[in-house]
Amino acid sequence: VRVGVIYLVSGVGGSVMSSLFIRDNISVGASGALFGLLGAMLSELFTNWTIYTNKAAALVTLLFVIAVNLAIGILPHVDNFAHIGGFLTGFLLGFVLLMRPHYGWAQRYVLPSSVKDVGRKFLAYQWALLAVASVLVVVG
């Protein structure tokens, strides 16, 4: 359900950005929504960074896919504003909707008594990004 919400809202975000910057043409397509999914994948990678075993490969692969798709956007009749709007919307929504607990985090009450400090799941910058993303998604 969360991915579907990201897809739909990113499509709307891409359409809004496209209509703000390209006033005399109409563009139709799902590429803004697909870029929103790429943006959500990137924010999910940042948010859940500690879960990934091969962090560099995941980041390089995702950035390569994003760069290639943006490069395709320089072809005629391709609306890169919709791509960028969808990407930014999905990136922000990913911080809000794709925060997931690490394995065993929800059951911290069953830890042995010898464990004194579990530590925080999310760092301060992750909470700050969540707050900024939430405000930007609501304000628009």
Residues designated catalytic: 31, 83
Q: Tokens in use for 106?
A: 């929800």
Q: How many CB atoms lie within 10 A of CB 138?
A: 8
Task: Give per-residue burial for 88-117: e unless 16+ CB within 10 Å, then b.
Answer: bbbbbbbbbbbbeeeeeeeeeeeeeeeeee
